[in-house]
A and B are shown apart, each in its own frame.
Chain A
Amino acid sequence: MLCEKVQALLPQSQGSPEGLPAKEAAHLGSCLQCQVHASQYASIASSLASMRHQVAPIDEAHLASVLEEYETLADVIPLNPRRRRLRKAISTGRAVTAVTAAAATVVAVKLLTKQRLAS
């Protein structure tokens, strides 16, 4: 019965006796059958951990498409909100300047027309 209990706990402790209650840890120390299961879980755990540093080969074409999509998006949504506000302020400023310039031109043309008509 204790074998079953110990073996049910082994996935959680990954085969280590350290994660087990004292009674179960003591059983693991003396039961060969449970030790086999424990070593299998421990072996799986260390193999999985070692996979962390294995990486798939880079697909350059896909990487390029990711970068391209980001570049396009970055133009639409600038990263920095301060910069976005600044850009908005600049474009608003430009619009105001353009409207002022247009109005000034209209006034100047009217004045010139008046002067021409008077002379």
Chain B
Amino acid sequence: MQSVSLDVLTQKAKQGSKKAFSEIVRRTYADTYTLAYRLVGTSEDAKDVVQETYLKAHKGLQRFRGDAQITTWLYRITANCANTYLSKKLRHKHDVLENDEEVIDLNVQRDPAHMAQIVGLRSELTEALEQLPAKLRTVVVLRDIYDMAHADIAEQLQISESAAKVRLHRGRQKLKELLYPQSTEMEEGSAHAV
């Protein structure tokens, strides 16, 4: 199975080969998990999203026409699952807030132990990405890291294409503010001086 391409494996999986689908999962797992982690921000949540992604992929494999690579198709499913997951989580937090009247941080919780393991992902940029609100982060990750088309992003997040573009614009601005605070302060200072 090692030497067989993903395209061939996809064909075999569509014909009902369990082995082929398992091999697809093995080969794409790291990428799918990384994207899920970038979108939801904690290892536990990312694992749930990955589980859901492969279940959806398995159920929908017959509908995969092969006009994109299976990895791209899996990214779309991951984005969709992560979006649903985050929406449910936020809704649940709102419910808790209403019921218990506690002040809860709506930012996605971080997992410091796992974060330390992710060698290479830890950088100023990663930290800045994590500070973005989930709605903005999702669009920046999908567009600027995974090069997903605006139309695809809009479809998976169930928003309009123009809303996706607005979120991307705000997300990029916010990232720059976080990474280059002096530059932003100088700009604001000169604006006040005028």
Contacts and interface: CB of A to CB of B under 8 A. Distances in A.
B79 interface: no
Contacts of B172: 11, 14, 41, 44
Contacts of A54: 34, 120-121
Interface residues of A, number: 38
Interface string B158-187: 000000000011001101100110010001
Given A54-B34, A56-B33, A70 B119 contact: no
Given A11-B169, A56-B30, A79-B61, A69 B47 contact: no
Q: Which of A47, A71, A79, A80 has the most CB of B within 10 A?
A: A79
A118 interface: no
Given A44-B172, A45-B144, A52-B147, A83 B54 contact: no
Contact of A83 (B16, B59, B119, B169): B16
Interface string A61-93: 011011101110110011111110000000000
B125 A47 contact: yes
Interface in A2-53: 7, 11-12, 14, 36-37, 40-41, 44-45, 47-49, 51-52
Nearest to B61: A79
B30 A70 contact: no
B37 interface: yes
Interface stretch (B17-25, B80-88, B97-105): B17-25
Contact of B175 (A36, A44, A51): A44
A69 B55 contact: yes
Interface in B101-126: 117-121, 123, 125-126
A51 B26 CA distance: 21
Contacts of B31: 55
Given A49-B145, A54-B120, A70-B55, 15 more contacts: A12-B169, A48-B125, A52-B145, A55-B33, A56-B34, A56-B117, A58-B29, A58-B30, A70-B22, A70-B54, A78-B16, A79-B18, A79-B21, A80-B14, A80-B62
Interface of A: 7, 11-12, 14, 36-37, 40-41, 44-45, 47-49, 51-52, 54-59, 62-63, 65-67, 69-71, 73-74, 77-83
Interface of B: 13-18, 21-22, 25-26, 29-31, 33-34, 37, 43, 47, 50-51, 54-55, 58-59, 61-62, 117-121, 123, 125-126, 140, 144-147, 168-169, 172-173, 175-176, 179-180, 183, 187
26 contacts: A11-B168, A11-B173, A14-B172, A40-B180, A48-B125, A48-B145, A51-B145, A52-B147, A54-B34, A55-B33, A55-B34, A56-B117, A56-B118, A58-B33, A59-B33, A62-B47, A66-B25, A66-B50, A69-B55, A70-B21, A70-B54, A73-B58, A79-B21, A80-B16, A80-B62, A81-B62
